[in-house]
Structure 1
């Protein structure tokens, strides 16, 4: 197991060294509107904001082209860990929350936090820089989410309905501790809420701690793991074909839930 992890990390280091940044200071490379929204025959516009610490974030505004007029309040959809704004649109229009809300007349906005495929930009840093990745979920709450809410409020001039999933919920809890942010939010719907991070008992995580994996990562100069890179997809496919049980990979990281 130890040498497998070393091989994976080494492969990522080589891949990073061979791949130079083409996402210069927020240059648009991926577009959620072009990828998923327009092909489904919905209206979509791209917006960008700059956080106080220099990250350039992408927001998408989605509306239905059907007969129902956009008369509902603004709603911000905030994705979870290892995800981006596209997660709200991966199923059919009748089964995707983003499309459903748009069909019911809501002013749908989609948030993408720093470091995701739609929000890679920074005013001075490249994603290959170590400093680009020097942040935690608290920064996602106090900067990214708080400033997305402020941006929506400035455009709509009305209070925001907030929908968060997983990491998006703990971001919401933290962001709403700021009175000026809470005043701009009408209500929040939190899916799979997380209110604390403590006492993780998953064997895989305990094994990584025992191996001092964080020190290995730093020593290899690895700053990010791109879960959507072609190399990682091929690597995971090869591991899951008879070598590992990948039926519930996330549970191996978080541990089993007693409430499911």
Structure 2
């Protein structure tokens, strides 16, 4: 095994390309600290930095760092990010794409959500074809990819074992997503949920951001659209803004793409619709 594969996990602020955190970035160690640090972040860049160093969920911290040290053989000579994967993309997006969590050898390796795994291959190729990305591939955080009018985030910011976060881990992580959506809500016109987990998670977050959400919660499905408007208690920055549309999308997982449950045409049609809804 190479020396790189035997290297220890690299802590924040030690030279990773485009690392949003610094040695003094505050670190959350429990759910209460996540909520407090998310709420007190002065702006989106600082929020992203705080997301990237969170250590609130012991099981997820242990797993992501174990994967980052042991590594998959095909990536043995590559450094792993091994930390929470923050949101990224346009700071004033018209479209917000929300997924489940980073892949152990994708986002947990590259430091960018959906980057370096098969799901990302399908996702970014579709975004490029419909004009929402400047290139069709996403292989590492410094590869020049730029999203156009679009931002991405995960409901859970750490790679979970077996891709299954617990309800407690999801709830602990939600304030990061809630504050991120708060920061961009004034510009967003469409929220694309990749998979049922993301679909279920965004409704309380959108309610917290100031939107009137339907009850009962709408059922998830590919292409399902739900339009929601700011509530009567929405913050000033949302007052008078147009409604947004929450759009369901089957996750481009290997299981879905290999079986034909998700096709290139399905993704292109959905993101073309998102682009239209967002007036891009």
The answer to which structure has the higher strand fraction is 1
TM range (shorter): 0.3 to 0.5
Question: How does the TM-score come out when normalised to structure 1?
Answer: 0.38
Question: How does the TM-score come out when normalised to structure 2?
Answer: 0.36
Q: Give the greater-gyration-radius structure (CA).
A: 1
